Amino acid sequence: MENLNPYITKALNAGMDHAIVVQTSKIYTAPWVRMKCQFGCHRYGQSHCCPPRTPTPDEMRRVLDSYTYAILLHRNWKEGLQRIDAFNDAVVGTELALFIDGYYKAWSMGSGPCRLCEKCNISGQCAHGSKARPSMEACGIDVFETARDHGLPISVLKDRKAERHSYGLVLVE
């Protein structure tokens, strides 16, 4: 989709290592992905952006099928939660730029659990609804298969100091 090229360029200029247009039919969902959240993340259920408050893999597949394209964003680095926060800000910024330019269906997912609040008010409304987004994994997206299918690097973190590959996705129509 050539008319997305300015957003690709902007994302690359903002520090992304890769920004590519993908067909949503090539974004993979699987039920096991959310199990990794439930039985592997200490933040499970503690945020509006975490399961069980996020779309199930079946719901996410239906959402993906209501789009034709997405922009898959990748950033590679070593250490640093602030960098993940900056990455997620850039993902949401790409969504906002697309929306303002008339892509009214633009919606994004970032990387990792939301860290915008020290403690999420899960019984009330999200305090950062304009910036808070679930991760791809929280919505049942198999980021490993999706990244690898598009020729992008990804690996399991062996320790906290290992090279990190963060991915975000902006759905756009």
Q: Kindly give the confidence (pLDDT) of every residue in the chain, 173 residues in length, as a single tens digit, with 9 standing for 90 and above.
A: 679 999 999 999 988 999 999 999 999 999 999 999 999 888 899 999 999 999 999 999 999 999 999 999 999 986 655 577 889 999 999 999 999 999 999 999 999 888 888 899 999 999 998 999 999 999 999 999 999 999 999 999 888 777 889 999 999 99
Is the bond into 52 cis (omega within 30 degrees of 0)? yes
pTM summary value: 0.93
Which pLDDT belongs to residue 80? 55
Pairing of strands 107-109, 163-172: antiparallel
DSSP H or E run through 170? strand 163-172
